[in-house]
């Protein structure tokens, strides 16, 4: 007895709520009863929510897999494929649809559509039998094309009218009398996510929120299994939080931007400055240079360099036994054996010194009061974010053009975006110039220092070290390490390291978005004994700063007698 395969398909998930599925199943059962065939559920091929007009059922659906099995000879000759109508198989152009039917018939498959059977033999004997499937294919294709055109026109009219396009919207918004308004409770959660993202990644945020039983936000009242890192990342990167909405249309199975970006479509859950600031932090975290150590996470990856050279300092682990090995920050030239000395600083010594420096130093010396700088910084972050968004759109459109999209239309859109990007770059350059003048070489560090002191309490935990590293990059541009003394490239002897002023280890701190710097001198054996200079700019020589503070450094590092008061700058 021939096996009977049944094919059930409808185009949209909404049709599952109607009668389409039940009707198709009932027809196949009736055919089997009337023709003494056995209906077997496991031989049913279902493409639910797959369009036959866009060929989705052939390219990514189960019908495509069935055709591959037919062509490979895995389906027995004489098997039957039952469909309610030929337009269930295909609503694409006539040549595609007839090609599918021809492959089935040539492979010895009997196709049953409605109440009529089609085999290769019957079609060869009477080619007029193909008229019915041809007319059905043509009608189905025209119906889908007409329906698609009318839907596009309706959406275009709705979009141009300025009204909400759909009831589906971000989780922090809702419809109120035909107007999109902010759901304040959920918006508070969104703002909390952005605040946490300054020092945490999506996985860590999910763990904290689930631990604290913060209810997840979702569109409508969907049951969700707690917070998911992927959903948190989606919210943090979603321009909808600042009100943006880009209408799109499906072309070739891909979403193509259609029409201009609507910047005030949704109410803002966070300000553009906050959004782009967090996006910049996330991007810096994603592009974090260097491999994270398994034993200990290096706080200074991408920040520490060997003296005044461009050789980064790498974390090198030679074992936990300090007598035999230890952990070090080692210059890239030493790692590659391209230098005269083993340029290294014991990691624990440097980290403890740096932590004491951060806790004890007063950053107000590099801060200028007034709202002008904050306003300029926010605007600069916004321009950076807008520029990155436009450049991303250009890259996607170029990829679509290479994939065979509508070349003239895409080219016009790319040219327009490149002009827009040029305007953002010009505005960015102007802001950077104004920011430099307004700052006079300063950078706002007080809030960042508070954040850093807060996360330092978790320094012994892996997630706490990640938070410290993220915060450091918000205000430090570079750390120039001199483990053998300022300007010294030759490794000193043990006697010189403990007695000579010139051999005292030190590091220079260069702050973000400014030329302000500071020299920090560290005791060779006790990293809690520190001396840090006043702030100076690039016009001042570091050696001159060191020399001008010789007496203070000597008194602090090498007191002549124990009873003498130490000028220790220690918190």
Query: Is domain 4-145 annotated with CATH 3.40.50.1390?
Result: yes
How confident is the model at residue 370, as a pLDDT? 46
How confident is the model at residue 438, as a pLDDT? 47
How confident is the model at residue 13, as a pLDDT? 64
pLDDT tens string 250-282: 666 677 777 777 888 889 999 988 888 888 888
Nearest alpha carbon to residue 175 among 270, 266, 271, 269: 266
Q: Which two tokens stand for residue 496?
A: 């010189």
Q: Is the pLDDT of residue 1 over 90?
A: no
Q: Is the pLDDT of residue 309 over 60?
A: yes
127's CB contacts (< 8 A; 6+ apart) are: none
pLDDT tens string 423-442: 877 777 766 655 554 443 34
Residue 237 falls in the annotated catalytic set: no
* Separation in Å, CA 326 to CA 294, 317, 333, 337, 346: 14, 6, 19, 19, 7
Q: Decide which of 292 and 342 is more confident.
A: 342
How do 304-306 and 254-257 pair as beta strands? unpaired
Region of 45 (left: φ > 0; alpha: ψ -120 to 50; beta: rest) is beta
- Alpha carbon distance 445, 41 (integer Å): 68
pLDDT > 90 in the chain, percent:
13
Q: Which of 22-31, 74-83, 276-285, 441-450 has the lowest mean pLDDT?
A: 441-450
Confidence of residue 241 (pLDDT cuts 50, 70, 90): very high
Q: Tell me the average pLDDT across 189-198.
A: 92
How confident is the model at residue 118, as a pLDDT? 92
Architecture of domain 166-286: Alpha-Beta Complex (3.90)
Q: Which two tokens stand for residue 430?
A: 């102007």
pLDDT tens string 519-536: 999 988 889 889 888 888
- Alpha carbon distance 475, 114 (integer Å): 72
Confidence of residue 568 (pLDDT cuts 50, 70, 90): very low
Mean pLDDT computed over every residue of the chain: 79
Confidence of residue 565 (pLDDT cuts 50, 70, 90): very low
- The pair phi, psi for residue 349, each rounded to 5°, is -60, -45
Residue 131, classified by CB atoms within 10 Å of its CB into exposed (0-12), middle (13-18) or buried (19+), is exposed
pLDDT > 70 in the chain, percent:
76
Spot the catalytic one: 6, 11, 20, 542: 11
Q: Is the pLDDT of residue 295 over 70?
A: no
Q: Decide which of 201 and 431 is more confident.
A: 201
Q: Is the pLDDT of residue 8 over 70?
A: yes
Confidence of residue 371 (pLDDT cuts 50, 70, 90): low
Q: Is the pLDDT of residue 460 over 70?
A: no
CATH code of the domain occupying 371-439: 1.10.287
pLDDT tens string 128-167: 988 999 999 999 889 888 887 887 777 677 666 666 666 7
Confidence of residue 287 (pLDDT cuts 50, 70, 90): low
Q: Which two tokens stand for residue 412?
A: 């016009």
For the chain, domain boundaries: 4-145, 166-286, 304-357+475-557, 371-439
3-state secondary structure 378-401: HHHHHHHHHHHHHHHHHHHHHHHH
How confident is the model at residue 189, as a pLDDT? 94
Distance of CA 314 to the CA centre of its chain: 26
- With beta carbons less than 8 A apart as the criterion, state whether 441 and 537 touch: yes
- Per DSSP, the chain holds a count of helices (H) and strands (E) of 20, 17
- Alpha carbon distance 55, 51 (integer Å): 6
The pTM of the full predicted model, rounded to 2 decimals, is 0.44
Helix (H) or strand (E) holding 47, with range, is strand 44-48
- With beta carbons less than 8 A apart as the criterion, state whether 57 and 64 touch: yes
Q: Tell me the average pLDDT across 300-328.
A: 82
How confident is the model at residue 190, as a pLDDT? 94
- CA 278, 281, 287, 288 dihedral sign is negative
How confident is the model at residue 174, as a pLDDT? 86
Q: Tell me the average pLDDT across 22-50.
A: 84
Q: Is the pLDDT of residue 99 over 60?
A: yes
How confident is the model at residue 514, as a pLDDT? 67
pLDDT tens string 374-413: 666 677 777 777 878 887 777 777 766 666 655 677 777 7
């Amino acid at each position: 007895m021939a096996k009977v395969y049944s094919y059930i398909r409808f185009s949209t998930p909404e049709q599952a709520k109607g009668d389409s599925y039940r009707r198709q199943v009932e027809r196949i059962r009736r055919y089997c009863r009337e023709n003494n065939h056995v209906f077997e559920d496991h031989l049913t091929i279902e493409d639910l929510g797959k369009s036959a007009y866009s060929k989705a059922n052939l390219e990514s659906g189960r019908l495509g897999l069935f055709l591959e099995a037919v062509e490979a000879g895995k389906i027995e000759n004489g098997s039957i494929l039952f469909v309610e109508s030929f337009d269930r198989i295909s609503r694409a152009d006539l040549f595609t649809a007839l090609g599918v039917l021809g492959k089935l018939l040539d492979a010895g498959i009997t196709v049953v559509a409605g109440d009529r059977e089609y085999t290769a033999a019957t079609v060869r004997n009477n080619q007029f039998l193909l008229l019915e499937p041809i007319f059905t294919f043509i009608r189905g294709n025209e119906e889908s094309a007409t329906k698609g055109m009318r839907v596009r026109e309706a959406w275009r009219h709705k979009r141009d009218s300025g009204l909400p396009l759909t009831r589906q919207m971000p989780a922090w918004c809702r419809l109120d009398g035909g107007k999109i308004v902010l759901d304040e409770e959920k918006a508070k959660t969104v703002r909390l996510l952005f605040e946490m993202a300054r020092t945490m990644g999506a996985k860590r945020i999910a763990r904290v929120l689930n631990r604290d039983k913060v209810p997840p936000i979702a569109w409508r009242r969907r049951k969700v299994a707690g917070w998911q890192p992927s959903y948190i990342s989606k919210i943090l990167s979603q321009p909808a939080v600042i009100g943006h909405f880009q209408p799109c249309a499906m072309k070739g199975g891909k979403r193509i931007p259609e029409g201009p970006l609507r910047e005030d479509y949704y109410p803002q859950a966070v300000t553009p400055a906050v959004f782009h600031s967090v996006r910049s932090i996330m991007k810096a975290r994603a592009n974090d240079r260097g491999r994270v150590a398994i034993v200990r996470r290096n706080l200074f990856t991408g920040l520490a360099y060997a003296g005044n050279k461009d050789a980064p300092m790498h974390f090198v682990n030679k074992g936990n036994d300090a007598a035999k090995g230890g952990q070090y920050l080692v210059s890239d030239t030493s790692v590659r054996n391209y230098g005269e000395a083993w340029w290294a600083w014991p990691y624990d010594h440097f980290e403890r010194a740096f932590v004491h420096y951060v806790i004890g130093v007063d950053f107000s010396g590099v801060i200028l009061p007034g709202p002008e700088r904050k306003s300029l910084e926010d605007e600069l972050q916004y321009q950076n974010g807008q520029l990155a968004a436009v450049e991303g759109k250009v890259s996607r459109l170029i990829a679509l053009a290479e994939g065979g999209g509508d070349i003239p239309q895409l080219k016009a859109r790319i040219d327009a975006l490149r002009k827009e990007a040029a305007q953002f770059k010009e505005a960015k350059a102007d802001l950077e110039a104004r920011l430099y003048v307004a700052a006079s070489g300063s950078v706002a560090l007080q809030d960042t220092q508070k954040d850093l002191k807060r996360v330092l309490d978790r320094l012994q935990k892996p997630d706490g070290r990640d938070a410290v590293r993220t915060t450091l990059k918000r205000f430090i541009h570079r750390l120039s390490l001199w483990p053998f003394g300022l300007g010294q490239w030759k490794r000193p002897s043990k006697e010189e390291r403990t007695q000579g002023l010139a051999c005292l280890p030190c590091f220079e701190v260069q702050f973000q978005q400014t030329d302000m710097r500071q020299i920090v001198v560290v005791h060779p054996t006790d990293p809690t004994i520190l001396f840090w200079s006043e702030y100076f700019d690039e016009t001042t020589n570091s050696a001159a700063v060191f020399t001008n503070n010789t007496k203070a450094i000597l008194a602090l590092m090498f007191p002549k007698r124990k009873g003498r008061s130490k000028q220790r700058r220690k918190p």
